[in-house]
Structures are given as structure tokens and as C-alpha cells.
Amino acid sequence: MSYSGPTELYIDGEWTSADDETTIETLNPATEEVYTTVAKAGEKDVEHAVSAAKRAVDRDSEWRQLAPGERADYVREFSAALDSMRDEIVLTESYDNGKTPFEAQIDVETAINTFQYYAGWADKIEGETIPVPGDRLDYTRREPIGVTGHVVPWNYPFQLAGRSLAPALACGNSLVVKPSSTTPLTALYYAKAAEEADLPDGVINVIPGSGSDAGAALASHLDVDHIAFTGSTGVGKGVMESAANNITGITLELGGKGPNIVFEDADIEAAARGIHNGIFMNAGQMCWAGSRLLVHEDIHDEVLDLVATRAEQTPLGSGIDDDARMGPVVSESQRKEILEYIEIGKEEGGTLVTGGGIPSEKDRGYFVEPTVFTDVTNDMTIAREEIFGPVLSVVTFEDEEEAIEIANDSPYGLLAGVWTSDLTRAHTVAEYLDYGMVSVNEYPVTFPQTPFGGYKDSGYGREQGREAINEYTQVKNINVNLS
Ligand code: NDP
């Protein structure tokens, strides 16, 4: 399918080529062919976008002067504009990223729901009155932060952009969005929606560009007041250093090595379905992937059998293939890295149960077989490092205490799964897990209404839910002497 969507930068309400006219070629991971060419922002374009965003949130600007209910209307209009382009965005995401239309549909739906949810917040952002000594009125206001920068990865290009854009917009900020240069297309539909919803110029700016150039320039810009970064832990640390130098607020959503803990009293069929989704959805390219299966030793064989069978039956495909449930990984370099991890897994003593290579029926596209290793110990590389591909590592445990110990023995702490029919055990284990999110008897799951974020190396701050309102506003305390 040829692409007829937006391909230019969107700055200050205008579509424009890059200042130096450079472009990015984006590939379709299912065919390995160039899908389209997009303008590539450099430092001058970042400068241009940030200054437009700064003007858009000046105290006297149209955007800042809106009543909260009017801002809510804008966010609703914006969401409706996205909804009207839904089918086009789904196909674009599928071709640009490689994910199946089935998966892209979920992403687009989730993003639209997130805007609808935050439209509801726009006129409910309240301060507090605080009882203080003496004859005084003391209260707080929650105000917009100002210019927010959004640096987005390639694994959920549309959905993850929307996750931070929606609260930032609802809170009255202006936005500069830098999608990954690997998947630059669908973020541009946010610019189209801004045009259709008639948002004031400069409130939303979208600038595809490379991370080391446009991303670094945005993250270190002195006029950016908050950075929402989603990506790898390594790059996140650098972005945090830039933010520290500028005293800029930051939200970091980083990597993970999620444990799915299956106890001997679990519904094993349901667990097998959740384990499969948790590692093979999006070809395993998920921060919250359940890439470690911790299973009680008594049920290891039974669970492994179900999981391996499901893995082998996963229909592979992408693009217009509606029946596909797992697409290719995003690029040749990503596939190479995953295959290297598989070799390391074998060398370090893991037993390959299924998969482990490139599917023989796929002569084009960056496909990797759904892969399961057992006999893994938690000190092996494939149990410790984020592979970001369809590779599951199975580790056994003897009892509850050991399960918690293995689960927590990780630099990461994003999402953990607990599978049990014992309610007391479910709550106790959930409490002891050092994870920002725990899901009992389903995996993975999140909603626009619930906080999303990690402990330890998985990040800092929270997206989604009420928590994100706190991330994208700043508190002013006002004391009035009444005597
Ligand atoms: P990267 O960290 O490489 O890139 C993320 C974004 O940062 C991209 O837009 C990238 O641009 C940009 N970037 C790269 N270098 C810099 C820099 N020096 N300064 C500023 N920005 C930069 O991650 P990936 O794109 O490879 O995404 C995969 C990672 O993201 C995984 O580790 C995964 O766990 C994590 N992730 C976390 C999520 C969460 O919610 N916790 C969700 C999804 C992914 P470009 O691509 O153009 O180089």
C-alpha cells in the first residue's frame, strides 16, 4: 500500500520541510522496503518548535486564557478528529512499525480513549485550601508547567505519544513531540488532529528526527519545562542528566523484565493465555513484557507444554493480514540483537523448547520465531537483560518466598504478574513485589485511568490516571493575610 499521509514537520500550525531539507526513509519491516520519506528535524527545527510552543503558553496567549471547560472542549474535538482518522492511522502504524492490524487497532483505540479520559479532567484540576495559624487564607493552585517535550520510542509510536500528550494538553501546556526516527509517521496524525480541532498555533508541534540530534536538542533545551521520555534505560539516564542541568521536570518510562509468577493453585489454561500475550504481543517489543515466567516446580511441565504449543501456533504476518497475531520485529538490527541473545541463552545452559530462529516460511521481513527457553536460572543473561523480542525465559521456584526473591532480583521493576486462586496469597505477594504495577490473573493490562510506571531502573514518575495530572501541572501556594 502506498502512503498518502503527512510527511512534513508541523511547527507553529504550519507544515514545513526541515530547515536543512534532510529527510528520513522509513521501512516497512514486513517487506524490508522503503515505505515513505519524512522530513527530519535538526537543531534549528527544534529551536523553531520550542519557541512556537513557548509563545503558545505565554500568560496572555489564547491557550492560557481559555476557561477550563473550553480547554476540555478542545481536547474532545481533538479526540474526535483522531477518531475520524482511526482506520488510516491503524494501517499506517501497521506498515511503519510492523505490528499486526489487530495490535495497531488496540493501540489507536487506547490512545483515543486516553484523550477522552483527560478531556474529562481539564475542568477538574483543583487546588486545596490549607488550614494555617492566624487570620490567613492559604490555598494552592495547580498551574500548567509550560512547554512539554515528548520523546517517543518505536515500539508503540502512536499509543505512547498519546499517553503523555493527552494529560499535558488537558493541563494547559504546549507540546513538542519527537517520535522515533524508526517509526516517525503516526505521530504526525496528532498534528493533523490539531489542525482539524483548530487548536491555537504552537500548542502542538510534531518534529520527527533522530534521537542523538533532535532528541538530545529537545531534552537539553532551556525553554522546555518538562520532558516525558519513553525509551531505554541507558538513553533515559542521559536525558535525566540534561534535565538535571536545566532543573527541568521529567517523567521516565524505561525498560522492564517482567516476571509472570504462576503458583501451583493457578488456573493454568488462563495463565498460559496471559503468558503468551505477555511475551508474544507486539513481537515481545514491550517495556512491560512478561519475559520471565516463574513457575512452581510441580506444574512446570504442564505449563511449559501449554505455553510452547501456543507459541508454535501463533499466526505470523503483518500489514493487511487481519488474521496475524504476531508481526516482524521493527528492524534488521533489532532482529540481530534478539538472535544474539538466543545464542547467549543456549551457550549459558538454557534449553530451547521452541523457536530460536527465523521462521523458514518467511523469506522477507524481520520475523523471529516465538521462542521459549527453560532450565533458565535468574543469573543468566536472558533472565536479567531486556531482550525486547519474542523470547521467554522459564525459571522454576519451590515456594512463595523463593518466587518473590527471584522476581525482585532484577534491576527492573515495571509490571509483574501473579497467577493464583488464593486471594490472601495474591494480595500478599503483590505487596512484596518491588514493581510499579502488579496484575493478578491477567497479563498485561493497563487503562488510561490507572497509573503506569516503574520502580528501580524502570523509570521515574507516572503516566496515566490522576498521577499524570500531578506530573503535568505545578503547584503554587498562595497565602493571604486577612488581618
Ligand atoms: P531509545 O532509548 O533508543 O529511544 C527512545 C527515544 O529516544 C527515541 O525517540 C529515540 O530517537 C530517542 N533518543 C535516542 N537517543 C537520544 C538522546 N541522546 N537524547 C534524546 N533522545 C534520544 O529506545 P528505543 O526506541 O530503542 O525503545 C526501546 C526501549 O524503550 C526499551 O528499552 C523499552 O523497554 C523502552 N520502553 C519503555 C516503555 C515504558 O513505558 N516504560 C514503553 C516502551 C518502550 P531515535 O529512535 O530516533 O533514535
- Model pLDDT, residue 319: 74
Judged against a pLDDT cut of 80, whether residue 338 lies above it is answered with: yes
Whether the CB-CB separation of 434 and 413 falls below 8 Å is answered with yes
Pocket test for ligand 1, best of 114, 151, 159 (most atoms within 8 A of CB): 151
Residue 323: Cβ within 10 Å count: 9
Tally: H helices and E strands in the chain: 16, 21
- Model pLDDT, residue 195: 98
Who lines ligand 1 at CB under 6 A? 151-156, 160, 178, 180-182, 210-212, 215-216, 219, 230-232, 235, 238-239, 253-256, 287, 386, 388, 414, 459
**What average pLDDT does the segment 58-79 reach?**
98
> Is residue 90 within a helix (H) or strand (E), and if so which, with residue range?
helix 86-97
pLDDT 10s digits, 160-193: 999 999 999 999 999 999 999 999 999 999 999 9
**For the chain, what is the mean pLDDT?**
97
CA of 190 to the centre of ligand 1 (A): 19
Pocket test for ligand 1, best of 40, 287, 446 (most atoms within 8 A of CB): 287
pLDDT 10s digits, 224-272: 999 999 999 999 999 999 999 999 999 999 999 999 999 999 999 999 9
CA of 180 to the centre of ligand 1 (A): 7
Residue nearest to atom 31 of ligand 1 (CA): 232
Q: Which residues contact 315 (CB under 8 A, 6 or more apart)?
A: 323, 324, 325, 326
CA dist., res. 246 & res. 291, Å (int): 36
- Model pLDDT, residue 287: 97
Judged against a pLDDT cut of 90, whether residue 1 lies above it is answered with: no
CA dist., res. 23 & res. 263, Å (int): 52
- Model pLDDT, residue 2: 84
Q: Give the position, in ligand 1's atom list, of the atom nearest the Cα of 256.
A: 34
Which amino acid appears at position 455 of this protein? Y
41 secondary structure, DSSP code: B
In this prediction the pTM is 0.97
Supply 385's cell numbers.
537483560
* Cis amide linkage into residue 359, ω under 30° from 0: no
Residue 222: Cβ within 10 Å count: 10
Whether the CB-CB separation of 200 and 62 falls below 8 Å is answered with yes
CA of 36 to the centre of ligand 1 (A): 22
- Positions marked active-site: 253, 287
Residues 316, 322, 325: CA angle, nearest 5 degrees: 35
Please tell me the total number of residues recorded for the chain in this structure: 483
Whether the CB-CB separation of 45 and 209 falls below 8 Å is answered with yes
Torsion angles phi and psi, residue 48, rounded to 5: -60, -45
Q: What is the CA radius of gyration of the chain?
A: 23
CA of 392 to the centre of ligand 1 (A): 22
Pocket test for ligand 1, best of 207, 230, 239, 460 (most atoms within 8 A of CB): 230
Judged against a pLDDT cut of 80, whether residue 320 lies above it is answered with: no
